[in-house]
Each structure stands twice: as C-alpha cells, then as structure tokens.
Amino acid sequence: MKAFTNVNPRTLEDAVSALTRSRASGARAVVSGGGSDLLGLIKERLVQPDIVVNLKTVAGLSNVRADARATTIGGLITLDALSREAHIRRDYQGLAEAAASVGTPQIRNVGTLAGNVCQRPWCWYLRNGYACYKNGGDRCFASSGENQYHAIFSQGPSYIVHPSDTAPALVALDARFRVVGPRGERLVNASEFFVLPRVDPARENVLQDDEILAEIVLPPAVSSRRSTYAKILDREAWTHALVSAAVVLDMDGDVCRRARIVLGGVAPVPWDRPRAAGLLEGQRVTPELAAAVAEAAVSDARPLAKNGYKVPLTRGLVGRTVLALARQ
Amino acid sequence: MSVLGQPTPRIDAASRVTGSARYTGDVRLPGMLFARVLRSPHPHARITAIRPERALALDGVKAVITHQNCRIVWSSGDSRNTRYLFNNPVRFVGDAVAAVAAIDPHVAEEALQLIEVSYQTLPFLLDSEKALQPGAIAIHPGGNLSPNEAGVRQPEVYRRGSIDDGLRESELVYEGRFTSAHVNNAQMEPRVSVASWDGDELTVYASTQGISNCQRDLAKDLNLPLERVRVVCEYMGGGFGNKNQCHDFDLMAAVLAQQAGVPVRLELTRKEDYVAVHGRWATHQYYKIGVSRDGTLQAIQLRGYSDMGAYRKSSGSIAGIELYRCPHVETTVHPVHTNTAVAANYRAPAYPQGVFGLDSMMDQIAHELKIDPLEFRLKNATRAYHDELPYTSYGLEDCIRRGADVFEWRKRWRRAASDTGVVKRGVGMAMGSFAARVGRSSAVIRLDASGRYAVHVGVTDAGGGAKTTMAIIAAEALGVPLDRVTIVSGDTDRCPYSIGESGSRTTNFTGYAVVEAARDLKQQIETRGLPTGSVVLIGSATPEPVIKGAARYSFAAHFVEVEVDVEVGGLRVVKYVAAHDSGRIVNPLTARSQVKGGVTMGLGMALHEQLLYDPRTGRPLNAGYYGARVMTHLDAPDVEVLFVETQDAHGPYGAKPIGEPPIIPSVAAVANAFFNATGRRIRDLPISRERILEVLA
C-alpha cells in the first residue's frame, strides 16, 4: 500500500475540516469508519489516499437514540452492535437482520453501518483494477464479460450491483441520512441517497468528497408494521448477496395496508419495487398473491448473458419472503 | 494399554493454539530484509525491456533480480520444459518478472512500482481443447500438448483388453462429457520463505511439506553441495500438495539474500498464492461406457484433457478407472498448456475430478438400467487392481456395505426425481481408492539416562498430525507411555531423510522407519541394558520395503443426502456418511479430522469453488478466499466417519493412507445426490446455484 497520514478528529466538524483542508492543499483524503473495506482498497491500490480521516475517534456517533419523532442511529455503530440493539430488533427487525447477515463475525465486529451503506461495489473488474467507470475509466467490462454476479436491473452504463445489505432495509424503512459537510448538514431520503450509473457512473451515492454520512434517522416505530431482510448467497457466509429482499408490511389483521419491497444484489442501487408491493395493498396475503407479487418484482428484469438465473432466484426469494413475513 | 488406536490429541496442540509455535512467518533474523515479487499483468507477453534503475535508487532498496541478472532454473517448477525463476516470455498473469529486497515490506512494494517493464503482448489461450487446435499459438516451443515422460508429444495412454471389441460387443453404450474447474489448495498458512547465508552455507526457513526434498531441490538449483543447505520448518499451516519441494520464492529469497548479504524474507499475498503457485487441474472428460443389460461393465473409454496451465509441474492424470472391474479399458489423457495459473498437486491430485466424471457416468448408467446404484457398485467394483494384481488388503466392499447400512441407503434411496416438493431430497454415493505406497525413509531414536526417547524424524506436520502419529507409533513400538517420547522434526540438520508429506506417505514410510528404529533400539537395550550416566543409546533404521505381486490401496465409499430447493437453486447436505478402509487407524481423532476435512474440501469443489478468468484479458477475476468461494465453517456439514479396519501386512502396524482418500468420492457423491433429487444431471463443476437454476429452468 501507498503510505498515508492518519488523522484522528474529535468532532465531526474537525473531520470535515480535515477533508476540506486536504482538498485545498491538493491532497487526496478519504474517511474511514471500521476500515474493513477501505483497507483492502488501499492494499490493492484502488484507492491511494494521502490522508485517512479516522472517524473512530469522533465521539457520540455509535449510539441509538429514540424519541417520539424518530429513531436516530450513529453511522459508526458496528454492524454487530446494531444487530443486537433491542430497540432495533423489536421495531426495525429487517434492519437488525440485514446487519446480522453481513460478511462474517470479524467484519461485523469492525464494520460500521455508514461504512456498509457506503462500501464500494464488489464487481471483480473494479476490484481487480480494470479501468472501468467505477475506477475512473470509460467502460463497463462486465456488460459483455463475466457478469454472473451483476445487475439484472440496469440501463447502464455500469452493471455493478449495490453490495450493501443494510441499504435495501433502510430504503424500505423510509430512513433519512444525515450528511455533514463544509456547507453544513442536510437530510437525504434513503431512496434519493443512492445514484444510478447514468447519473454518475463513478459513484454509488450523493456524498461529495468532503461529506460524511453521520447518522441515519428512522421514522418512529408503528406497532402494525413488520419488516424482514432475506438474502441468498452462493455459500453460507462471507460473500455478498446474489439477491436480497427487504420487505416491510403494514398489517391490519391479515390484510396488508401498505407494503414496501426493496431488492439488493440486482441493481446498481437498492431496487425499489413499488408496483409489486402495491399489489399487496388492501389484500390478504395468500400464496397466489405472493406469487403474483414475486412475478411483478421481476417482470421488467433485463438479465445479461450470464446472470439469467437471478430472475427465478429473485422471484423465488420475493415470493417466500413476503409470504413468511405476512404469516409471522 | 496400547497407545495405537486411541484417540490422541496432537502433542503440539497447546503450542499451536496459544501462539507459542514458531511458524515460518514468525521467523525474524537480525538485519533481515523483506522481499516482494513483480508479476506479469499479461497472460502471454515478451519482455522487450526491463529497467530496475529507479527501483534500485529508492532509499532502502537493497537488491533487485530479474531475468537479466538471475538465470537460475527452478527445476521442480516444470518437469518437461526449462522453467527459470524469471521467464521471458511470461506465460500467465502472475508469472514472476522481478523480485525486490528492501528494508521493509512497504519499501519493497513501492520499489515494484518503479521497475519499468516493456511488454510485447502475444495471443493467449485459456482453454485446453482450443490450445490443441491447429494454428493455436505455441506456449512452449514444440506445441501445447505437454510431452510424456519419454519426451514424446503424445497423450498418456492406458489400455487393457480391446476397447473397440469391448464397445462393439456391449449391449448398451453410454456417452457423456464432464468438465471440472481449476480450484486452489487454499491452505491456511500463506507462503513465506526466509533465507540466510553464513559464508557459503545456506539456511532456508521454509513452509514446506518436505524438508528433505526442499533441501535437495535448493542444492540442485543453486548448485550447492547438499550438506551446505539446511531447511527448517518447525510448524506449518497446511499445503495440501502445493508446498512440496522447493518453490521459486524459496530460491528468490536465497538469491536476494546472497546479493544483499543479509537474510531475506519473502512472503506472498493470498492473491499471489492463488495465481502464482498452483491449484488443481481443470479437466474435460469424454466417456464411452459399454455394459450388458444386467449392468455388467464391458468397456470403459476415456478421452481427457487436463489444463496444466503455463508449466508442467505434475502428471495431469484423470484417475478413477481402477475403481471398476472391466475387461476392456482405454484412457487417453492430454496434459495441455494454457496461459493460466499452473495446475499441479492438490490432495489426491488426479482423483476427485476423475471420479466426478466416471462415477457420474456409472450413476447415470445404473439409472438408465433401473438398477440401484449401490447394487451397480457392488456388482462392478474392483476386486483386483486393474483386474490383475491382488490387493494386499481389500475393504472396498465392506466400505460400501457398512457405509450403506449406517446411512440407511435402502430406506433413503428412491428412483431419481421421486420427490415432488419444492425442496427435493435425494441421495448419492461414490467410491474412491488411493495407492498405499511403501518405501524408503529414515528414523533415529536417542535414549539417555533420563529415560526420554527422542525420535528424530524429518516430518514437518503439514496439518495431519504427523508429529503425534510418529510419537504414537514410537510409543507403541518401544512399549512406553506416550509422554516418554519427544519428537524432533522439521530441520534437516537434526533429522534424517523423510519422504515428505505428499502422496499420503508419511505414516507409511516414516512411521515404518520409526518401528524399525525402535526395534534396533530395543535390541541394544536388551544387550546393553537401559543407559545410565552419560551413556546414550541410538537406534536407527532406513528400511526400503517393497511389495511384489500385489497392489496396496486405501478404499472409501461415501454416501450423501441433499436437499435441493428448486425455486432458489440451493443445495444443502443433510446427511453424510464416509466409510474408509485405511487399514489400522493409528490415531482415530486425527484420522476422523482428515476425513471431515477432505469431505469439506470436496464439497467446496463440488458446489462453488473455481478460479475464473476474463476471456478478453486472460486475467483471473476471483483469486482469494472471498472470490473463489472456498468453504466456510457454516458450509461444513456434519460427517459421520466409519473406519473399516482391514488387516494389512505392510506399513506400520498395517496402517494405510488416510490423508488424500477422503476428498476422492465426495464430489461425485454430491453430484449423484443432486441427480437423484432432481432427475437432472449437472456435468460441469461447480454445481453452483447458477447452474442448478439453469438446468431446472
């Protein structure tokens, strides 16, 4: 790896000003949460920072606070801590399940929620240093190459899949992201945080180079709402989802009032399926309805040469996840 | 009470788990430099210029070697072609181009960026059959079919009977094509070597499966007398066949240390381990099998292609035919060069992929003939090696029968695709056999007045528990408690010759030498009495046992039940029974671990492991534990292990190999269970979710 300077800010303001100062001096600075993804990127020289701003020294960013208006989660909470948080497990089960499903215990012990949301894609062309869009190049090698793990929903020009487990759950739960930067802070809806390649093929979200994802704000818990996160891997642990589904159901007895289905592993951003979810509204969730929802979730899929299997996989996962959650 | 046959924890377990064990990577010598290797980014290219000047000018860089100033031949890196430490042209992505020694690993890595290399890229080949087509570019002079041992460019052929007559006279003939992928040994311990010169004497701290063969190769390649080379490996963390002999990085460390005048440590990253050392050869297999209507085998023909990658380090055989009794057999196997990572020895090198193809065929034939696959195996399983030589001991039939009983095969087996549910159950079985060789190794046992027996053996304990095995055998042979025995191992200065931990030979070769050395020592004690004062008694032996007129083999039969989720393509192992004839079991605890480990590795190969290349650039895309999908703890099934302890007149107390056999049947057994569950056969490894959903679509 290339040598870099580590900076330990005490506050978010210090962290942002470290980023701003670095940029002003022409240095390349990056932020590190748990560092589990960043370290690999640096070792592979895919990122070659001069300065690493270590957020672990910023106080107060790893807690969960809840009041009548919102539940606020510090971006630095580890995935393991998040998955064990009683309040999250009770009221936002899908998020707890998503956090618990990431990688391995070692990764969950150091990896953070904000880091999981902001990690780079695991496309093998990107990770092997090909000059693709994501590495600052001008093409996607996967679109006509080895694309078995790639997107079935993308209009290009990049066909990566978003790798985060927590991101689909956060979108499904209507989370908002508190982003802090040199011009102050802003609240971004989770569904607007992630950007499609046709908007900006080099990045996966709206964060600017001097901005930090500080906190995640969830709407208050509703007793009629339940959520889950299910994913399918090609081994039992330590890979990213081939397909995942975050499902939220607002139930009135056995009738679904409102539903949200957001997929992971199939598109360059968490992939919201409002039309499929809409079929559930005002209905009893039967196996037949779940199958129709599953079909609607993939009806517009456009698989690449080697990832056609993801269509039945997604269909199967959505159908059984919706049904299981409705019967929970 | 006898020590042999008792479940015995490893004698070095505490030092391994507490961290006090000194592995090669822990070796730190005064003034030691750190080395890194620059590797080719191209699958096939001629180096037209290489300029190390900027690297050498970097502060802290002490030596740089390239093909220009280092023309050493790495003899064990290729048995047919001349393979240098640094080759021009480079023949695969990862082929070594230069090595740098510097004051720390980071400076060494920085220096790699400063070496300027100009490449003229050449066309490249990634597929073994395409590499044999007319007009294909020659990766080595003379063509891409690697020569046989006689140096002739012809495939390896085995024949008995007359295949043409056999196929013509068969009532039914079945054909099938199967492929297997390149998979990596994926051993836990990374590759590392520390080389240190004292005048003209070289010490290499290696992570090796064989200190003696590593020493011999280093001496040969560096043109040194054997006694000036010392190889030390106190503890090692696995190799499964890819840490035998000496490696190019051992030689590079030695050359850099010589140039720099101080010790040099060279460690590879996991990715380098995947692309630049070796894995198991991928194969293409074409079978034609003739049977009579009652299911008796008449003829087996195999035409196979083994992808050896850029260099020829091993046989490239496709094995398994010897599992079946059959009058007419012909196998024609082509070891082929491609511009991919080298393929060579990996746990039962030629077997799991060969048995996958062959035992899938047999399973299919049994299905077509409406015969229970168990009965088909019992009818056709080998009873004499190649239908010719008697076995010294034979437990295959007992493995099949007893394994089937424990598995409850007759209760669980139904015709293929009988299960109509979304999650379908199915069962499969397969067989395995592995040569149980005997041969030369040495042992020395030293006894002084303290009453301790120091057993000097040149083993390194690659992970199977060889130190403990040697101690058990010594205690048994000496008739003393285990705690009176100390094992001195892993150092060519302190240990006599040992075969090395390859071919599942350590227990049989070196263990037998321990028995003979103990016999020698006991005779001395009988004549001279137990030593007192400063008297030291030394027993030693270098037996060279041979077996004439018979074949010695270990056997196995595996049974597996799977659940296949046809909606989402998942395959889960729900029951696994592994029955093994490895003769007398020296240590049931570590023997069971060997079986469980071998099955787990086989399942990884069966279900999701493979090294994948980008067809346009010839670069591997998924090197490493994450990308190549090796098994995790959560993937490992519960394995019931059953030992069929046959009586064998050879080896130490009749022990036969257990290290390699467990991986042999596992791949085919799972593939057959998938077929039984779904009625669809997957002929290309791995049987991934992707392939499952494709065949079920």
Where exactly are the structural domains of chain B? Answer: 24-122+188-238+243-276, 279-437+549-696, 439-541
First to last CA, chain A: 49
Round the average pLDDT of chain A to a whole number and report it: 97
pLDDT at B697: 87
Of A234, A307, A312, the CB nearest to B629: A234
B24-122+188-238+243-276: in CATH 3.40.50.300 = no
Q: What is the pLDDT of residue B595?
A: 98
DSSP state of A318: H
> Does the structure show a pLDDT above 60 at B178?
yes
Closest CA to B640 of B466, B335, B406: B406
pLDDT in tens, B241-283: 999 999 999 999 999 999 999 999 999 999 999 999 999 999 9
Question: Does residue B148 register a pLDDT over 70?
Answer: yes
State the pLDDT at residue A1.
83
Q: What's the fold here for domain B439-541?
A: Aldehyde Oxidoreductase; domain 4 (3.30.365)
pLDDT in tens, A131-170: 999 999 999 999 999 999 999 999 899 999 999 999 999 9
Strands (E), chain A: 5-7, 29-32, 51-54, 64-66, 71-74, 176-181, 184-189, 212-218, 225-232, 243-252, 255-264, 271-272, 283-284
B102, β-bridge pairs: B34, B61
Neighboring chain B residues of A145 at a CB cutoff of 8 Å: 614-616
Residue A188 has pLDDT above 60, yes or no: yes
Among chain A, residues having any CB pair with chain B shorter than 8 Å are 1-3, 104, 124-125, 127-128, 130, 141, 145-146, 148, 232, 234-239, 242, 306-309, 312-313, 315-317, 319-320
In the predicted model, is pLDDT for residue A172 greater than 60? yes
Give domain A225-326's CATH architecture: 2-Layer Sandwich (3.30)
Q: Is B612 on the interface with A (CB under 8 A)?
A: yes
Whether the pLDDT of residue B420 is over 80: the answer is yes
Where, residue-wise, is CATH 3.30.43.10 in chain A?
Answer: 5-57
C-alpha–C-alpha distance, residues B681 and A137, integer Å: 42
A128:B607 CB<8 A: no
Q: Which of B26, B97, B99 is nearest to B62 (CA)?
A: B99
ipTM of the complex: 0.96
* CATH class of the domain defined by A5-57: alpha beta
Q: Return the pLDDT at B463.
A: 87
Q: Do domains B279-437+549-696 and B439-541 have the same CATH topology?
A: yes
Candidate from B612, B625, B693 with C-beta closest to A313: B693
Q: What are phi and psi of B569, to 5 degrees?
A: 75, 15
What are the tokens at B643? 């030992």
- The answer on pLDDT for B1 being more than 80 is no
Number of other CB atoms surrounding residue B378 within 10 Å:
14
**What rounded mean pLDDT belongs to chain B?**
97
User: Which pLDDT belongs to residue A102?
Assistant: 98
With beta carbons under 8 A apart, name residues in chain A contacting B627: 124, 127
* CB within 8 Å: A1 and B106: yes
Residue (of A121, A310, A312) closest to A234 by Cα position: A310
Look at residue B347 and tell me whether its pLDDT is greater than 90: yes
B282-336 pLDDT per residue, tens? 999 999 999 999 999 999 999 999 999 999 999 999 999 999 999 999 999 999 9
| Contact criterion met (CB < 8 Å) for A235 and B632 | yes
Split at pLDDT 50, 70, 90, the class of B439 is: very high
**Residue ranges matching CATH 3.30.390.50 in chain A:** 225-326
Inter-chain CB pairs, A–B, below 8 Å: 80
Q: Which of B109, B626, B694 has the CB atom closest to A238's CB atom?
A: B626
Per-residue pLDDT tens for B222-249?
999 999 999 999 999 999 999 999 999 9
pLDDT exceeds 80 at position B190: yes
Parallel, antiparallel, or unpaired: how do β-strands B264-267 and B192-198 relate? Answer: antiparallel
Check A242 against B689: CB less than 8 A apart: yes
For every residue of B208-275, DSSP letters joined together read -S-HHHHHHHHHHHTT--GGGEEEE-SB----TTSSSS--HHHHHHHHHHHHHTS-EEEE--HHHHHH
Sorted by sequence, the CB contacts under 8 Å of residue B252 that are 6+ apart come out as B35, B37, B65, B85, B96, B99, B193, B266
Q: How far apart are CA A131 and CA A144, in angstroms?
A: 15
- What integer pLDDT is reported at residue B2 of this predicted model? 87
Q: Which two tokens stand for residue B346?
A: 């990996």
Which CATH number applies to B279-437+549-696? Answer: 3.30.365.10
Report, as an integer, the average pLDDT of B507-530: 98
pLDDT > 90: percent of chain B: 98
